[in-house]
A and B are shown apart, each in its own frame.
Chain A
Amino acid sequence: MRGTGDGDPARWRADPARRSRGAELLLRGARRPQLPGDGTLERLGTLVDDIPRLSAARARRGARMAAAAAAGVTLVALATGVWAWRGQRRAPPAPSAAGAAGLTVATAPAPATRRAIEAPPAPDVVVAPHAPSRRAHAARAVVETGPSNADALAREIALVDAARGDLAGAPARALVALDAHRREFPRGQLAAEREFLAVEALRRMNRLAEARARAAELEARYPSSSYASRAARLLQAP
């Protein structure tokens, strides 16, 4: 037991001579917190047992919406050449954004991604409103029917890359994509990287407590990952 409370004031109960009428009445009348009965505890327990399942169902709905938002983000990223950058990084230098997109298609993206890539690379606000529902279907397919690994990985890459592209300029938007990834691929192949990026996004948004919590979680889950140590260093920096 911590602390005996030596500096504490005397309790009313222990000080009958000096307590007021109001104090007397409070001590007699106030309801002391009661422990739940076994029946109550058990009934509530069955409700709590359901929470993860119910909330997973809600998260799937949420993921579809977030994925829809992320699809929008991906389109913007496309227009600004993030895919071109990715193509350059992953493959021999590509001459143009369109060429890079072609290379990416070759790595088997989800149908919606392919669709998005086929859209004109120029900023195109008309495409965005339609894209979400297609991407949403793709997301649902990923969650419900268990797609091939390649498709899942392509989707993981799309989400994480979109987030990385937004990290410096729009960390909040990056976090939306990362949260979508976290819901869809809690233990995905890019999970450690995602957590690291989330720490960085939170840090940039000055949500330091959450950043630290997330970094601690990253460290606990992937103790040997270089992302864990990088996240820790990130938070030590002044």
Chain B
Amino acid sequence: MKALPRAALQDQVPAALAIAGVGAVAPQELLDVRAIYRTHGRFVWLSLQRLGVQPADLDDIAQDVFVIVHRRLGTFDRRARLTTWLFGICMRVAANYRRRRRWTREVLAGGAEEERPDILVRREERELAERALGRLDVAKRATFVMFELEALSCLEIAELMNVPVGTVYSRLHGARRQLERTIARDLKKRGMG
């Protein structure tokens, strides 16, 4: 079965923004972290979420990213895409963040106040989904999120992550399999399997 045409998915995705600012950037602009923030701040913000940075930590982690951007601006190869370079930085920062933080229950614990049953079910699903995603490595996670939740094409993902498209396919395949397995196991543990 073929993927849905892009247009059908467009409303779900800030796709244009997801890969915003891929056009040429003037050299002077590149030398300034503030200019990069203005053109690519949203992109970094989205990318960190793709890589598993939790909403509560986004502010701090995004700031870390831009400190590194400022410091490493001199090493940016102008022939490369700025988004690819930025995504690489996001990936390293997110991987460190995850190592530091290790997926813990604190995010998931949330308040257990009384709520309507449908909301409880929804929360449970969110918990299971986020927990399963949290077990993926950052590259697989981002691949899955961009493909399944944001409807980017594998080529676009490959370009962002600076890998061959075959690698995207295999990461996606691995991510799906691992996610389904984790969720099946968790459902079983909760007696919902």
- Residues of chain A having any CB pair with chain B under 8 Å: 1-5, 7-15, 18, 20-23, 25-36, 40-41, 43-45, 47-49, 51-52, 55, 209-210, 212-214, 216-217, 220
- Residues of chain B having any CB pair with chain A under 8 Å: 1-4, 6, 9, 12, 14, 17-18, 27, 32-34, 37-38, 41-42, 45-47, 49-50, 55, 58-59, 62-63, 66-67, 70-71, 74-79, 122, 125-130, 132-133, 145, 147-151, 153-156, 159, 165, 169, 172-173, 176, 179-184, 187
Q: Are A210 and B75 in contact, with the CB atoms below 8 A?
A: yes
- Least Cβ–Cβ distance between B47 and chain A, in angstroms: 8
Q: Are A7 and B154 in contact, with the CB atoms below 8 A?
A: yes
Q: Are B180 and A20 in contact, with the CB atoms below 8 A?
A: yes
B34 touches which of A29, A35, A52 (Cβ 8 Å)? A52
Q: Are B172 and A48 in contact, with the CB atoms below 8 A?
A: no
- Least Cβ–Cβ distance between B86 and chain A, in angstroms: 13
A29 touching B130 in the complex, CB below 8 Å, given contacts A11-B147, A40-B59, A213-B74: yes
Q: Are B156 and A32 in contact, with the CB atoms below 8 A?
A: no
Q: Which residues of A contact B75 (CB under 8 A)?
A: 209-210, 213-214
- 7 A–B contacts from the bound complex (CB under 8 Å): A9-B173, A12-B148, A15-B1, A28-B122, A40-B59, A44-B37, A48-B33
Q: Are A34 and B49 in contact, with the CB atoms below 8 A?
A: yes
Having A4-B153, A13-B148, A48-B33, one finds 14 other A-B pairs with CB under 8 Å, namely A7-B165, A9-B172, A13-B9, A22-B179, A23-B176, A26-B148, A29-B130, A31-B55, A34-B55, A35-B46, A48-B34, A48-B41, A49-B34, A220-B27
A10 touching B63 in the complex, CB below 8 Å, given contacts A2-B159, A3-B156, A22-B180: no
Q: Are B33 and A52 in contact, with the CB atoms below 8 A?
A: yes
Q: Are B129 and A28 in contact, with the CB atoms below 8 A?
A: yes
- A49 and B34 alpha carbons, distance in the complex (Å): 6
Q: Are A28 and B63 in contact, with the CB atoms below 8 A?
A: no
Interface of A (DSSP majority class): helix
Q: Are B79 and A28 in contact, with the CB atoms below 8 A?
A: no
Q: Which residues of B contact A43 (CB under 8 A)?
A: 59
- Least Cβ–Cβ distance between A127 and chain B, in angstroms: 33
Q: Which residues of B contact A213 (CB under 8 A)?
A: 74-77
B183 touches which of A5, A13, A26, A40 (Cβ 8 Å)? A26
- A174 and B187 alpha carbons, distance in the complex (Å): 59
- Least Cβ–Cβ distance between B58 and chain A, in angstroms: 8
Q: Which residues of A contact B159 (CB under 8 A)?
A: 2-3
A35 touches which of B42, B165, B181 (Cβ 8 Å)? B42
Most buried by B among A14, A27, A210: A14
B41 touches which of A5, A32, A45 (Cβ 8 Å)? A45
- A194 and B62 alpha carbons, distance in the complex (Å): 33
- A33 and B74 alpha carbons, distance in the complex (Å): 30
- A41 and B149 alpha carbons, distance in the complex (Å): 23
Most buried by A among B3, B66, B78: B3
- A147 and B9 alpha carbons, distance in the complex (Å): 62
Q: Are B62 and A44 in contact, with the CB atoms below 8 A?
A: yes
Q: Are A30 and B41 in contact, with the CB atoms below 8 A?
A: no
- A210 and B74 alpha carbons, distance in the complex (Å): 9
Q: Are A10 and B2 in contact, with the CB atoms below 8 A?
A: yes
Q: Are A25 and B41 in contact, with the CB atoms below 8 A?
A: no
A32 touching B3 in the complex, CB below 8 Å, given contacts A22-B179, A213-B74, A214-B74: no
Q: Are B78 and A216 in contact, with the CB atoms below 8 A?
A: yes
Q: Which residues of B contact A1 (CB under 8 A)?
A: 156
